[in-house]
Chain A
């Protein structure tokens, strides 16, 4: 047990073994997770800067900042592709998940450490393809690469799609590794229904990763063959079918949106309980709803194609099933809210992001219901309403959860604390700036403003202008975050093993953890959410309550 004054361990995974080479060839899941973290933050910054440029261009109706529509088209394509394939899909699983999963299971590593390192380098190779595409003329197809546009444009589609193809393997390997790890490497006594909910989230995500990503791979392969050899499968001029491409693409990309959100929901399930200091409400319902979402997510891809000319029957089925993703999502939301009831709530940074998540994800989710309603989607499809919807769920949902996770595990990862003061300011700016930027876009969209427009009609100017101003507030928030997070590495006060008084196993080892994760192997003496009977006091000691309070 740790002592009253927090100490910084002498030897830990960051400095043991030392040397650059030991990092590049490391098999340690914590180091791999950290390398992923830096890689994705790099791409998040690039994607964010592109977004700021997009907003700058849209400040006024006419084209002024970029030379031509072509440049603008490349900007949003790269923004979308980078954010999706290089940032958000690997973000929570590959960075935070890699770091935390074995710790939560009481294991020494993931099941296949070499595969884990390989998956990181595959990610690097994939990202190099994407960067190569950017410097050789970029892509202007939109992140969806719809044919026949993508087979006829002159930009570097092949290198970008090859990049995404390669990235897919990285994602598959991570998923495979996690499933086996959860099945086979749980410490003795840790049964399925005692697992932390973050593990359930990662597990459900991994199922989607391995089942959906191969289809993306084959789709992109066909697209590449189409462009290089002209095999004609998607080319209407040769008798092929462009709508088939859309089916293939969304068969992956719809489940992919749950690859993005499920691990985020897992993080929220942790933080809401830890910072309410209260037993999670409806554990099994939260766990099973993750699997439910994963399952239904394979059956709804057609809701992206309500106006593409698919049959009415297909549209009906897809619309019907789409709503059934809303039910398990709702179950989660209500369970989280109820968890706070009669809690002991502290508003530290991770909780601020958790609350932001609840607020923003609900808006994003509800607007998904608008889009799932057939006749309403006909009006809203490919307008800014859709743009606002997916930023609310991806940025307002996943990114908020990611930030909650980053702030929650930051002391574990580095052994140091950031400044709560600046964290609160940044969280506030991000919340306000985000709503300014994207809430306006709902109105723009329902008023008919189409997406992917370089110039627009004057009537939309006020709302677009406001949205652009909001994006500066948002950007400022992130800038502050970058400063205090980096600053904390040098000046931050020492965190100690368990600054939040959480009960899951990653908090029972030192911060930062040793190379082999645990000095003394954790024991299953209480549930991870038993805040009614176990309490970690200010000295880091566990205090047990004799008899649990009855409700």
Chain B
């Protein structure tokens, strides 16, 4: 990240960031000047006209001046006009994506992000995009409101349920950037953070091919990767400690008891159902908070996860 950022602002790594920063600094310096004026005068008056000797004095009756009132109405007015137009201009640029933008679908969900690429590939909590190419995000949420925020790109947009919102960026440098959820969304709002990985065009194409499904490794290893990359790990441990969800340790073949009193022996169909329709059977002692992975995990992915779960003795 060549551009190291400054005391006030993080590195500016997208095409719109520079403009945002220049308005920021314009307002900043205008404020500093006005602030020094106001506080400087205050300090001077306090010192110059302080009460000496403790007795009250008659003071000047100087109590109005239209010239002064007009001055300090007009100058700030001009100033705010400039700030308004400048800020609005930048805002429009942020809102209108270039025509040729690459479109990535963003889904926010408690408490992770998933991304779908035009090729059919998908990823979780890590959005991968090429450098120097406009990327448009088509976003929606599956539950409450979230917000997609990449400080280094100066991009932020709320992600709403039952509605699409859009944002776009064009990264100017390859590298990894932080992605935050900035709309409060509950227990793990502060852990709903991910990465933006900006690759060269070539690396991006390679990544896309690999992302879809890696056939060079064993099925259960693929399952393990998915366990980590699709955020199962945030709720399910593999060492026997229950977290938000039951632990996967020794899950295969055990008899599971459900909140409605029924029970069954865990098999492939049950796991498939748990992933696609998690609330159909809710394990006793847990809240029905697991999100559905319908549309995120393909059949091959589920096969891989099942293979992996079988290995967890």
Contact = CB atoms under 8 A, between A and B. Distances in A.
A453 B20 contact: no
A373 B81 CA distance: 10
Contacts of B58: 531-533, 535, 545, 549
Interface residues of A, number: 100
Contacts of B184: 73, 141-142, 146, 149, 382, 451-452
Contacts of B91: 306, 312, 315-316, 319, 374-375, 378
A484 interface: no
Interface stretch (A103-111, A188-196, A252-260, A341-349): A341-349
- Max chain B C-beta neighbours (<10 A), residue from A369, A370, A383, A455: A369
Contacts of B63: 279-283, 529
Interface string B230-252: 00000000000000000000000
A69 B190 contact: yes
Contact of B56 (A277, A374, A456): A277
Which of the listed residues B24, B31, B156 has the most CB atoms from chain A within 10 Å of its own CB? B156
Given A346-B50, A374-B87, A443-B8, A236 B163 contact: yes
Contacts of A326: 76, 80
A69 B59 contact: no
A514 interface: no
Report, as a range, how many residues of chain B touch the other chain. Answer: 35 or more
Interface in A515-536: 529, 531-533, 535-536
Contacts of B161: 148, 236-237, 242
A496 to B, nearest CB: 14
B59 A279 contact: yes
A454 interface: yes
A79 interface: no
A347 B50 contact: yes
Contacts of A284: 64
B62 A342 contact: yes
B190 A309 contact: no
B226 interface: no
B8 A277 contact: no
A319 B84 contact: yes
Nearest to A312: B95
B213 interface: no
Contacts of A153: 186
Interface stretch (B38-46, B197-205, B277-285): B38-46
Given A375-B94, A443-B7, A446-B8, A359 B39 contact: yes
Contacts of B165: 309
Interface string B159-201: 0111101000000000000101111111111110100000000
Given A340-B42, A378-B156, A373 B31 contact: no
Given A281-B64, A319-B87, A448-B178, A366 B31 contact: yes
B258 interface: no
Contacts of B64: 281-285
B290 interface: no
B27 interface: yes
Contacts of B55: 537-538
A362 to B, nearest CB: 6
A446 B20 contact: no
B49 A376 contact: no
B145 interface: yes
Interface stretch (B65-73, B101-109, B261-269, B296-304): B65-73
A279 B182 contact: no
A333 B39 CA distance: 10
A376 B27 contact: yes
Nearest to A68: B187
A457 B178 contact: yes
A446 B9 contact: yes
A375 B90 contact: yes
B20 A152 contact: no
Contacts of B80: 323-324, 326-327, 369
B46 A448 contact: no
Contact of A343 (B45, B81, B157): B45
B83 A369 contact: yes
A341 B9 CA distance: 38
A327 B77 contact: yes
A400 interface: no
A488 interface: no
A359 B35 CA distance: 8
A343 B41 CA distance: 13
A330 B76 contact: yes
Contact of B189 (A335, A375, A453): A453
Contacts of A533: 58, 61
A45 interface: no
Nearest to A527: B63
A381 B156 contact: yes
B212 interface: no
B160 A278 contact: no
B144 interface: yes
A453 to B, nearest CB: 4
Interface of B: 5, 7-10, 16, 19-20, 23-24, 27-28, 31, 34-35, 38-39, 41-42, 45-46, 49-51, 55-65, 68-69, 72-73, 76-77, 80-81, 83-84, 86-95, 143-145, 147, 149, 151-152, 154-158, 160-163, 165, 178, 180-191, 193
Which 3 residue pairs are nearest across A and B when measured between Cβ atoms?
Answer: A448-B151, A375-B90, A373-B87
Given A347-B46, A374-B91, 6 more contacts: A68-B187, A307-B158, A345-B46, A345-B51, A370-B27, A451-B182
25 contacts: A69-B191, A73-B186, A140-B186, A142-B184, A237-B162, A281-B63, A282-B68, A283-B64, A285-B64, A309-B165, A312-B91, A312-B92, A315-B91, A333-B38, A362-B35, A370-B24, A373-B83, A374-B90, A376-B27, A382-B149, A447-B8, A450-B181, A456-B190, A535-B58, A551-B62
